[in-house]
Amino acid sequence: MGAQLPAGAASWGPDDVILYHLGLGAGAAPTDPNELAYTYERDLKVLPSFAVIPVFGALAGLGGLDGFDVNFAMLLHGEQDIEIHAPIPVAGEVSTTSRITDVFDKGKGALVVLEATSTTPDGEELFVNRFSLFIRGEGDFGGESGPAPGNPAPDRAPDVEVERPTLAQQALLYRLSGDKNPLHADPEFAELGGFDRPILHGLCSFGIACKAVVDASLGGDVEQVARYQARFAGVVFPGETLVVRQWRENGRIVLDVQTKERGTPVISNAAITLRSI
């Protein structure tokens, strides 16, 4: 805990943004102006969840940390929290500093929190990511268990509910944005992790849910998102449909996600905090 990871730099352009959006299923209605805003460079906008892409390489630094000797096949993404301090540009570059802020004992595993702060060349803090990584089989070491999950779903019918189908090849497409974990492509590696076939990236479901909220509750305005917190509650197999339920609550959109086919939770304890305008 407290370890600093090597600093990193990243840049992106319109093609990277479009590829990311396509990896989330954008453009399913290819002539819809709302979808073209995600997939065509003329009036391109950037989903706030794109903030996970320029910093994803920071996770590679975990393998070089003293004491972090784990089986990466047992690593699952537990939670993700992003704070967006300014609209993400269509083309840009950032430098990122990362550190381990917490290590929690969850009994069946350890939860390691990596905070990555990204700044532009002129020193502006653009976004902050907090990756909470659940490592199965590494718990029971006598540490603190950490805070209870927040952002519970209200006890009432959702204000908005939308369905978002995924493609059978969704994980193969999403991985081109940088997450090459074989858990999402290689059946043999997935079996080592306890799955009978590759699963969809948690951050892909995270992005799909973000887009569903922006489109269905925020009129497509990506700049209204100031923070997005989510807990990964279950797996998605490519080809399944995600049901995204949304509640407007005190300047936030609280949301959860389930699979339509199995009725199993995917994302829980999630909220998008709206920017004061």
pLDDT in tens, 57-107: 877 788 888 888 887 777 788 999 999 999 999 999 999 999 999 999 999
DSSP code for 26: T
How many CB atoms are located within 10 Å of the residue 247 CB? 19
Dihedrals phi, psi of 89, to nearest 5 degrees: -75, 160
If we measure between CA atoms, which residue out of 199, 150, 134 comes closest to residue 172? 199
Mean pLDDT of the chain: 94
Mean pLDDT of all residues in 221-226? 98
* DSSP 8-class letter at 237: -
Q: What pLDDT shows up at residue 43?
A: 96
pLDDT tens column, 150-161: 999 999 999 999
pLDDT at 47: 98
Residue 40 has what pLDDT?
98
- pTM reported for the whole predicted model: 0.94
Tell me the mean pLDDT in the region 128-134.
Answer: 95
From residue 253, give the alpha-carbon distance in Å to each of 169, 229, 271: 29, 11, 5
Which pLDDT belongs to residue 168? 97
Of 21, 77, 184, 201, the active-site residue reads 184
Residue 269 above 60 pLDDT? yes
Cα–Cα distance, 104 to 91 (Å, whole number): 37
CA atoms in the 13 A half-sphere facing the CB of 56: 21
Residue 49 makes CB contacts below 8 A (sequence gap 6+) with: 82, 203, 206, 207, 210, 211, 228
Respond yes or no: is residue 179 known to be catalytic. yes
Is residue 184 flagged as an active site residue? yes
**Which of 21, 77, 81, 179 is the catalytic position?**
179
pLDDT at 277: 55
pLDDT in tens, 18-59: 999 999 999 999 999 999 999 999 999 999 999 999 998 877
Residue 213: closest CA among 31, 48, 83:
48
